Amino acid sequence: MSTMALAAVMIATVSCKDGNKKEATTPVSTEMHQETMDDKTDMTMGNSQDAKAETILTAYFNLKDALVNDDNSQAKELGNTLAQSLKSFDASSYSDDEQNELNDIIEDATEHAEHIGESDIKHQREHFKTLSKDMTDMVAITGTSMTIYEQYCPMYDNNKGGAWLSMNEEIRNPYFGDKMLTCGKVQREIN
């Protein structure tokens, strides 16, 4: 039984490493990134709600970086910062359906950010998985002027996998930190 488990881990590790090599040599992603960056320069934020959504995303990215760096105390602090940013978000400028959906997302994301603010790093990463889904759902409604990469690690959570958002195309895994820093792949580019 342990031999089978070891073989499964080795296969998953090798496939994860192979996936990173393939992405690094694909010139198409560089071209797509450049086109998106050119498009981004034409966009401007329309109102203060857009700025608040960007503030929430920036707080999320800072939290992700703390988890990448295995920094429990900084992640606690940044989880609390994110919770405060989420609480200050006002969805009133969106349609009724969008307001309802955003309010549900914000409520759930705030709860996870608060848990991150008081947990050990393993528990922080568990909450970060759901928080990342909430942030993806929020961006789907609010949009963003930033280029964001949705990244995915197939090995997190007993091989159920976990996604996260990043401002950088380069993989820096918040679920494993230093143990498996570059394990993962870019699933899609947002914006």
| Per-residue model confidence as pLDDT tens digits over 32-87 | 333 333 333 233 334 566 788 999 999 999 999 999 999 999 999 999 999 999 99
Whether residue 23 lies inside any domain: the answer is no
- Higher-pLDDT residue of 3 and 190 is 190
Whether residue 26 lies inside any domain: the answer is no
Whether residue 78 lies inside any domain: the answer is yes
* Res 27 pLDDT > 70: no
The whole-number average pLDDT for the span 18-31 is 36
Distance CA 156, CA 160 (A): 6
Distance CA 179, CA 183 (A): 9
Residue 111 carries which DSSP code? H
Whether residue 31 lies inside any domain: the answer is no
- pTM for the full model? 0.77
| Per-residue model confidence as pLDDT tens digits over 115-153 | 999 999 999 999 999 999 999 999 999 999 999 999 999
Percent helix, strand, coil in the chain, to 5, is 65, 10, 25
How does the average pLDDT of the chain come out, rounded?
82
Whether residue 17 lies inside any domain: the answer is no
Whether residue 8 lies inside any domain: the answer is no
Q: How far is CA 32 from CA 28, 36, 76, 188, in A?
A: 6, 6, 36, 11
* Res 89 pLDDT > 50: yes
Domain limits at 51? 47-190
Whether residue 24 lies inside any domain: the answer is no
Whether residue 25 lies inside any domain: the answer is no
Domains of the chain: total: 1
